[in-house]
Structure 1
Amino acid sequence: MKKNIFLLILLILGKILVVHSQGDWTPKADYGGTARSLSVGFSIGGKGYLGTGDDDGATTNSGKAFWEYDPVTNIWTQKANFGGSKRESAVGFSVGNFGYVGTGVGGLMGELLNDFWQYDPVSNTWTQKADLPGAPRKWASGFSIGDKGYLGFGDAGFNGLRKDFYEYDPATNTWTEKAQLGGKGRSSAGEFSMGGKGYVVGGAATPTGEPSRDLWEYDPSINQWIEKTTFPGIGRTAPIGFAIGEKGYYGTGQYYMNDVDAVNLNDYWEYDPISDSWIEKANLEGAPRDRSVGFAIGTKGYIGTGLSYDSACSCTENLKDFWEYTPDCIIPTGLITTNIKATSAKVNWAVEPGAQTYSVRYRTTGTVPWTKTTAITNFKKLAGLTPDTQYDWSVKSVCDAAANISSDWSATQNFTTKPLRLEEGSNESIALEVFPNPVSASATISFRTLEKSNATIDLFDLAARKIKTLFDENVEGGEYSLSFNRNELSDGIYFLRLRMTNENIMMKIVLE
């Protein structure tokens, strides 16, 4: 039966309890190439990349064209064509400073593919890598965790919907088969990764395209899939997912109403892995769509291109619009007070990826005026305090100081300073420094601890993805230093985390 595609205004089902909390969508410069769908995208450093796909015959190389997006200038720049055969319905993701594209359907005869390619943005070149060892496929899912890539599932034609799953190691150019996805095989699912784990949501779970709503979490440390809270919205195929910090975002796509009419969607949802819960966010302000591209750059999400219904011609239309998503400015969590002394204390909280800085306020308990100060990382030393006195403090995220965008204040915490006495040694049990900062080519990382402990220094990007471990040793109390060379790391903001047995420090560094 021919399926008629039209746009419907969607009503949220009465059985679904929805908590509304809005982020913001902002239109950006249209994609630099022709309007298209079934493309791939990824981000490297502070840039986004989008290419391949189907432009409905508008050009002869739509399946190979690739463009770079710079969010600072809001400009698209055409890059080297994809190195493999033209294709659509492929998978794209980034690991470190390289992008990867593979699988899909295309070639000379429209065959299913399993080749795999690496993109180097510095040299603007493509290099073929080891083929995916499983069956050729389209509509697969892919993401990266740390220094590894992951690819699996998809539609393998006569071989059916797949559940197999593979890990790619760029250092050795090898694939290793991992645990199969729990639940049914599927294609055209949504995916994102954060916090050292990967997530796959929904997709087509039957050959006829029946959508699913199940959510699965992959933990590479134990090579296991764990089912999480089911997505509460409408089941869909060809959605888009991306992660910003420690939250996943999922939306758009399509479903068939009455098994006949294909309906495009523009709703968007946020998944919190800590509470294992979903919250509906602001709808994408562009046209409802499926088969689009999404990725995150720093603290922003991006979605563009895709396929949508055009009421002017009662037909489907490829899109080239491009949208930026700014998440809510979140109140910091994980508040704790450490290093409490007679005249000073250190207040700490969890890193909020959307925050440019933090505002901290404190006062003597029972008084009205607050003293306010600014913190550029997730802690602040409060000095000049009165001995043996109780203090209140709270903190808020400042996500855009120029636009006056900040979160609400956190719940008030309190602590009591110690009685006045002679204190020995440093005011801090641990400390972390980088010089110079910003970093041009290299820097010295110094840290101090007063106690015997295991010390680990990890480097994270702005999206809270671990790039590498710089130091991991058992140390005695004392001062230590190590050299840091940026090598191939792109310009941008990164975080260093010093993790000791009983305390952590997170510090922002800038590479320029």
Structure 2
Amino acid sequence: MIVDYASTVPFESGNILTAELSDATGSFAAPVVIGTLDATAASGSIPSAIPTDTEPAANYRIRVSSSLPAVTGLDNGFNITIDCGTPDGLSLSEVGTSTATLSWNAVYCAVSYEIRYRPVGGSWTGTTSLTNSVDIAGLTPFTDYEWSVKTVCLADPEITSAYSDNAVFSTINPNAIGDISTDGFSVYPNPAASTTEISWNLPASGNVVVRLTDIRGRIVSEVTLQGLSSGAHTYRIDRGDLDAGVYAVSIEWNEQTYQQEVVFQ
């Protein structure tokens, strides 16, 4: 930020201008230095920055003082509101046919968060959380949702950040993704950013089909691994240019199918 100043008092060589921030009540009993400038010009601008750990409030003031001569100017004349930052790092932790767990990066000084979500293009539903995650229930299966979150910095008077940019997730199609699993079949990491690895144990040798399908049941990737021996096996799945969302990864062996969900963020 920039703090502008103008003075009718001539400054001497070596003068240092200091931009000072009041406390949350507007008092300068113990001001915080937010910027300095070596200057003798009667007017100009002081590059400044408010500390990130400044308490959110609506009654801050700023003033400028000089060293040569030692003069303290009047404050800026109006209250300044300092709030918390807007949350970022929105992600989907878990999703089901009608539930989802949403999370984001914690914001310093947040007392709570307000979350809104809706079917894409629909009406917003709101909820709150005291932590940087929230469990949502009552969602419609097989539906694309968008959501965003804002920080509540102060409850009374209420000071909040702006809402974050929207993030998108999709609930699961119950007809496309089942809940088939077996000992030794795993997907890790999950959720995944770009690649994930599936592991399984074969009780006997044979061919294995590895298939990836989206929530609409469409096959987006399929490979047949020929002549695998019995025992432990792994296979890496690359996301490539697939959209973020929920997919089903399955392996087929000896007319048996084992399937799990995987989330690409």
Bucket of the pairwise TM-score, normalised by the shorter protein = 0.3 to 0.5
Larger Rg: 2
TM-score (norm 2): 0.45
